[in-house]
Structure formats: C-alpha cells, structure tokens
Amino acid sequence: MPTFQYKARDKDGILISGEIEAVTAQELKDGLFHEGLIPLSVKEVRSGALKLNISGLFDKVRPEEIMIFTRQFHTLFKAGVSIDTILDTMIKQLSGRSLKNALVRVRADVASGSTLAQAFGRHPKIFNELYVSMLSAGEEAGILEEVLSHLSELLSKDYEIKKNVKGATLYPKIVITVLILAIVFLMIFVVPRFVDFYGRYGAELPVPTRILIGMSSFFRNYWYIALGGVTILIILYRRFYNTNVGRFKIDRLRLKFPVFGPLNLKVANARFGHILAALYRSGLAMPRSLEVVANVLDNAAGSLEVLKVRDEIQRGSTLSEALSRQTYFSPVIVETTAVGERAGALDEMLATVAEHFDAEVTHTIKNLTTLLEPLLLVGIFGFVALLALAIFLPIWNMSEVISGG
C-alpha cells in the first residue's frame, strides 16, 4: 500500500501534516474529510526516492512531552471537563508540531465515534502499546480517571529514572570525549615535532616512541581510512542491532557489562514492577499484561524472559514460580511476588518491590562516578604513561642517541 504525505486544516484552522498509508490519494482525501479535516495537498511518497525530512529530526515527540500531556489530561478529566474540550485545550497550548498533529487526528477520530484507545492507537510512534492498552482497559472497566492517574505516575517515574541515568553518565562521557580530542591533537600537532627532532640523529628509537610515531603517521596520512572504518563499524552495528538476533545478543551483553550491567538490571526490574502493577490495577489479564510489558521494555533479553513467564502462566504456573525460573529477575522480586499472590495484593506488592528497585537505582546512580573512576583512571594513566615513555625516554638517553649520530 502506498504512503502519502498530506497537509490539512482542522475546524479551527490549525495546519497539520503527516504521512499515512492509503490505497489512493482520493481515498485519503475522503478519510480526512470524514475526520473533519480540510485537505490542502496529498502527495505520494516514492519508495525509491531519497528523502530528507529535516523537520522530523527536530520535531520528535520527547518522553517529557507525553508525560506532561498525560498529567494535564488527567487533571482536566478529574475536574469533569469533556474529552473534546480537553483535546481542544491541549491542541491550543502545545508547541510541538508532531504531538499537536496527532491530537488533532485523535480529536477528529473521537468525534466520529472512536474510543480513546482506538484514536490514540492510530499513532503508535507517539503513544506506545502500554499507553493504548491502559486507556483501553480504563474505558472498558469505567475507571479511566484512575488509569490516567496510574499512567501519569508511571510515565513520571520512567522519565525520572532515564533522566538520572543520563545525568550520571554525563561525567564519564565528557572525560572520554576530552581524552579522545587530546589524543587527536597530540597525534596531529605535537608528535610530528618530536619526530623531526629525533629524526636528525638517525638512531634507533625506543619501542614506545616508535608506537607513538606510527600512530601519529597513521592519523595524519590515513585519517580517511580511520574515519571510514569507524563509519562502517557504526553502520554494521546498527544493522546488526536492528535484527532480532542482534538486538537480543547486544541487549544481553549490556546486562553483563561491569558497573552498567547491574544498573541496567535494576532499571529493568523497576520498570517491570511499575508497568505490571499499573496494567494489573487497570484490569488487564495477567498474560496480556505481561505481553504489553515485554513489548515496551527497552531490553530484548529481558522482554524474551517476560514472554517466557507469560507462556508458563498460560500453562498453569503462578507468577512467582514463572519468575523464579528466569535469569534476570532478582530473588527479591520473586519472593515479594509470592507474598503478594498469597495475600491477594499482587499489584501492591509489585508496586512496593518496584519502589525498592527505584531506591537501588538512585543509590547506584549516586555512586556511579565513584564506580567508574578506576576504569577512567586506568585508561588515562595508560595513555599518559605511553606518552611520557615515548617522548621523554629518548631525551633521557639523549647522549646515547647523539653519539649514535
């Protein structure tokens, strides 16, 4: 089915645009009219054409936008404001074009009879399966206000964890970047001067000096090979990661990295507890809840284990029994889940254990710099030692070098 780019205006004159699949351009125009939109232009996207959508690079919907939108949506809904009025209000105050365009379509779909879950589900790149599944469960059970509250809280915690992890890794990223820039500067501008100086004597230089000179020569004369090699490696990595096998192997490796492996595992356990508790509270059946959890986890290895848990539950196992037979679930989450099942308070215990892992993540993040310092120092001192030996060893033996000349 061909893809079309379209531009249209809604009843308030707001311009929206996007891409959508349709059999023909006329069918798309009819669909836009049916949703209360006035089509301005409809163009087919040629599959063989090279596309540069620069605006899309700078107009992505950030998780923070979804979090704020959901919180405001819940506040207005709790106050008794109608869905149509809520969507109108949000459309007028939003500045991000992608989210605004999606909400215009959502409002039109709801006005034409769609449920909220159906309307939001037509925009999977913005509202993921977790978001849509919780809305669907809330509408079916008549507890949409409660579900919106859980969803808002879940998105806030998820955003907070990701923000803290990014903040904690900022320092090592800066150190590594500065170190790389310093190496490049030395290789291009400093080392060649020493090469000229030592070259006057024609003596055999120490091994560290020859290594440094070789590196400098490669940087200056074959930089395009290094740049091309790095580019090819990045492309091959991304292609491999985009395959199911590649994503699973790389994500499994991420859970075994020093320092970051245990942190990623704690984050995964925290997200599992929070998401499953929210879905279970919303009234979703446990197998379906686990399926949604698997689809929204950021780690393919963890997602596969969640699907194994779902399959065991469908065969008659309890949640705690199924979790105990997996690799990546902490004994704490297994025992807490077992207590929750016996007490008939599974959602509460899942939320409790998720809070426990939140605290563990926070503690690990606070100490992340301390944990990474030895690794960073080894790398920095290793390079400084090579540099010192390469540059100063010949100077210390200068009399021998000169006599050799």
What per-residue confidence (pLDDT) applies to 54? 45
**9 & 99 share domain:** no
Average pLDDT over residues 112-122: 88
Q: Are residues 40 and 96 in the same domain?
A: no
Identify whether 18 is part of a domain. Answer: yes
- Choose the most confident range, by mean pLDDT, from 94-98, 276-280, 400-404: 276-280
Per-residue buried b or exposed e for 216-232, using 16+ beta carbons within 10 Å of the residue's own CB: beebeeeeeeeeeeeee
Same domain, 45 and 91: no
Residue 73 sits in the same domain as residue 47: no
* pLDDT score for 179: 82
Is 38 part of any domain?
Answer: yes
Domain check: are 106 and 132 in the same one? yes
Kindly state whether residue 294 falls inside one of the protein's structural domains. yes
Q: What is the mean pLDDT of the chain?
A: 83
Q: Is 95 found in the same domain as 25?
A: no
399 pLDDT higher than 60: no
User: How many separate domains does the chain show?
Assistant: 3
Nearest to 40 by CA among 4, 5, 9: 9
Token reading at 287: 């197998």
Who wins on pLDDT, 117 or 53?
Answer: 117
Residue-level pLDDT at 50: 40
pLDDT tens-digit series, residues 4-49: 787 777 766 667 777 776 777 777 777 777 777 777 778 877 644 4
Strand ranges of the sheet holding 15-21, from the earlier edge strand across to the other edge: 15-21, 3-9, 38-45
Q: How far apart are CA 236 and CA 215, in angstroms?
A: 25
Is residue 283 domain-shared with residue 360, that is, in the same domain?
yes
Domain-located, residue 382:
no
Domain end: 96, 113, 141, which one? Answer: 141
pLDDT beyond 90 at 321: yes
CA distance 111 to 99: 18
Which CATH number is 137's domain given? 1.20.81.30
The answer as to whether 358 is a domain residue is: yes
- Asked if residue 8 is part of any domain, the answer here is yes
| Domain, as residue range, for 97 | 63-141
Q: Do 90 and 32 share a structural domain? A: no
pLDDT, tens digit (0-9, with 9 covering 90-100), for 219-253: 788 888 888 998 999 999 999 998 989 999 999 99
Residue 272 vs residue 198, higher pLDDT? 272
Whether 374 maps to a domain, the answer reads no
Q: Are residues 310 and 347 both part of a single domain?
A: yes
Q: Does 297 share its domain with 357?
A: yes
Counting residues of the chain whose pLDDT is more than 90, the rounded percentage is 24
Domain assignment present for residue 175? The answer is no
285 has pLDDT over 60: yes
Residues 25 and 46 in one domain: yes
Confidence bin at 387 (pLDDT 50/70/90): confident
Q: 7 with 96, same domain?
A: no
